[in-house]
């Protein structure tokens, strides 16, 4: 069995809270004292913030490990050193070591996300990385990344998500996410509602965590990522890198990294063979599509040029509010094509029975490009799996080879 199949055969989450067994596993693997790092959690924007923070650290000449989830095209994207995913032979070898070590700690108790976190930690140790950026999975208090030490933690945003696990209010969710922060560390927040800032601050007061509000980058600061929401994510990344680097922080190097930052699948601008521009975004909840909608209204590069049209390709995963998400975006496009990702895609007839339907993401792109015209723009959004299939088409990757939990 190939290593990824072995890993994905294990349930995504393990048996009960994982913190004690994760801490033990990291010790057994020799990973209990890794290089200093940044931890990132939030409802939206975690991946972008993690990627930008890693880029800033790399621009300072540090060998940097980056841990993200989910992936777009290849599972190994989740574990990267200086932007290069872990090679398959190394992934296989480290997985074997992690599985063997886990049996000595808590046989049958670990989930695949915990295993993946441990693989990342061991790979970063072997690669002698000098700085790390860790993206949490869900929440913070019970996340597999919590035992990993970091002097600074970031919460990118707070939305009503995973409420069965994190709580049914924004205050409960921000408290859960805030718990990712280490004792005597710093927690960076965007300008949240005062009640949420207070909730996070009170939650962490017994552990002496300093809470800081970080405003978005100014509109005059060069940024390689599109969208006003990315200016907030970039500011959090910038500030977290500054905290981690201390006196070694160089504002010029950080600005250069921001200006060239990229994160595939997030307002990711491509060019169709017809000449039409295609923007792909993995927005997968209501807050995410609201950010996409704002970008469509404000970013000149996302507007069609006459006589082109803006055409929306939309699909959502089974557990998402597809009708509500589509209602936000539909007024911003002249035509709509609906489809479903192969993985967990909601049948389009369930949320848009009267819209033009396509049997696949690739087919939807062809229909949309024809409707948009060479001067138009196609917007592909509604889910990360949908975005992954769209990116795969541009990268020459067969969508049938994409694998997700």
**Token pair for residue 133?**
């950026």
pLDDT at 352: 96
Residue 131's pLDDT is 98
* Residue whose C-alpha is closest to residue 282's, from 391, 209, 206, 365: 391
pLDDT at 90: 97
Residue among 321, 315, 313 nearest 286 (CA): 321
Decide if 3-259 and 268-401 have a common fold.
no
The phi, psi pair for 361, rounded to 5°, reads -65, -40
Q: What would the two tokens of residue 327 be?
A: 């209602």
In 168-316 the beta strands, taken as DSSP E runs, fall at: 186-189, 210-213, 268-271, 277-280, 310-314
Alpha helices in 246-383 (DSSP H): 251-259, 286-298, 322-329, 361-372
Q: How many residues does this entry show for the chain?
A: 405
pLDDT of residue 5: 86
Q: What CATH class does 3-259 carry?
A: alpha beta
> What does each of the 405 residues of the chain score in pLDDT, given as a tens digit?
688 888 988 988 899 899 999 999 999 999 988 999 999 999 999 999 999 999 999 999 999 999 999 999 999 999 999 999 999 999 999 999 999 999 999 999 999 999 999 999 999 999 999 999 999 999 999 999 999 999 999 999 998 878 777 888 999 999 999 999 999 999 999 999 999 999 999 999 999 999 999 999 999 999 999 999 999 999 999 999 999 999 999 999 999 999 999 999 999 999 999 999 999 999 999 999 999 999 999 999 999 999 999 999 999 999 899 999 999 999 999 999 999 999 999 999 999 999 999 999 999 999 999 999 999 999 999 999 999 999 999 999 999 999 997
Tokens of 88: 């398959």
> Would you give the distance in Å from CA 303 to the centre of its chain?
25
pLDDT at 162: 81
Q: What is the CATH number of domain 268-401?
A: 3.90.190.20
CB neighbour list of residue 216: distance below 8 Å, 6 or more residues apart: 190, 228, 231, 232, 234, 235
pLDDT of residue 2: 83
CA-to-CA separations, 191 to 157, 197, 198, 253, 308, in angstroms, rounded: 9, 8, 12, 26, 38
Per-residue pLDDT at 163: 73
Given this model, what pLDDT does residue 165 score? 76
Q: How far apart are CA 8 and CA 364, in angstroms?
A: 29
pTM of the model: 0.95
pLDDT on residue 134 = 98
Give the pLDDT of residue 161.
79
* Domain regions of the chain by residue span: 3-259, 268-401
Q: How would DSSP label each residue in 87-154? A: PHHHHHHHHHHHHHHHHHHSTTT--HHHHHHHHHHHHHHHTT-SEEEEE-SS-STT-TTTTS--SEEE
């Amino acid at each position: 069995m190939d290593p990824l199949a072995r890993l994905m055969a294990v349930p995504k989450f393990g048996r009960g809270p994982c913190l004690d067994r994760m801490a033990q596993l990291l010790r057994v693997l020799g990973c209990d004292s890794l290089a200093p790092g940044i931890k990132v959690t939030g409802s939206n924007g975690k991946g972008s913030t993690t990627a930008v923070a890693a880029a800033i650290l790399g621009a300072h000449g540090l060998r940097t490990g980056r841990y993200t989830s989910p992936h777009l095209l290849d599972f190994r994207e989740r574990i990267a050193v200086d932007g290069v995913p872990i090679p398959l032979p190394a992934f296989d070898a480290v997985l074997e070591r992690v599985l063997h070590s886990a049996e000595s700690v808590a046989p049958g108790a670990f989930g695949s996300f915990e295993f993946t976190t441990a693989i990342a930690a061991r790979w970063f140790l072997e690669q002698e990385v000098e700085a790390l950026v860790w993206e949490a999975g869900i929440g913070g208090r019970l996340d597999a990344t919590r035992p990993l030490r970091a002097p600074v933690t970031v919460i990118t945003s707070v939305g009503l998500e995973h409420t069965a696990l994190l709580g049914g209010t924004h205050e409960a969710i921000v408290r859960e996410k805030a718990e990712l922060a280490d004792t005597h560390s710093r927690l960076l927040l965007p300008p949240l509602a005062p009640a949420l800032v207070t909730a996070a601050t009170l939650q962490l007061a017994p552990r002496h965590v300093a809470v800081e509000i970080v405003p978005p980058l100014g509109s005059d600061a060069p940024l390689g990522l599109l969208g006003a929401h990315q200016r907030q994510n970039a500011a959090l990344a910038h500030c977290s890198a500054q905290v981690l680097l201390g006196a070694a922080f160089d504002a010029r190097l950080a600005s250069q990294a921001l200006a060239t930052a990229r994160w595939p699948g997030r307002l990711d601008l491509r060019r169709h063979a017809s000449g039409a521009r295609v923007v792909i975004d993995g927005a997968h909840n209501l807050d995410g599509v609201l950010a996409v909608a704002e970008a469509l209204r404000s970013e000149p590069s996302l507007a069609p040029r006459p006589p082109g049209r803006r055409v929306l390709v939309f699909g959502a995963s089974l557990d998402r509010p597809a009708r509500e998400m589509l209602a936000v975006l539909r007024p911003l496009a002249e035509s709509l094509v609906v489809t479903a990702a192969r993985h967990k895609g909601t049948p389009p007839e369930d949320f848009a029975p009267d819209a033009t339907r396509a049997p696949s993401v690739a087919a939807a792109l062809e229909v949309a490009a024809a409707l948009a015209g060479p001067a138009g723009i196609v917007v592909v959004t509604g889910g990360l799996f949908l975005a992954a299939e769209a990116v795969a088409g541009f990268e020459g990757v067969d969508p049938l080879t994409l694998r997700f939990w």
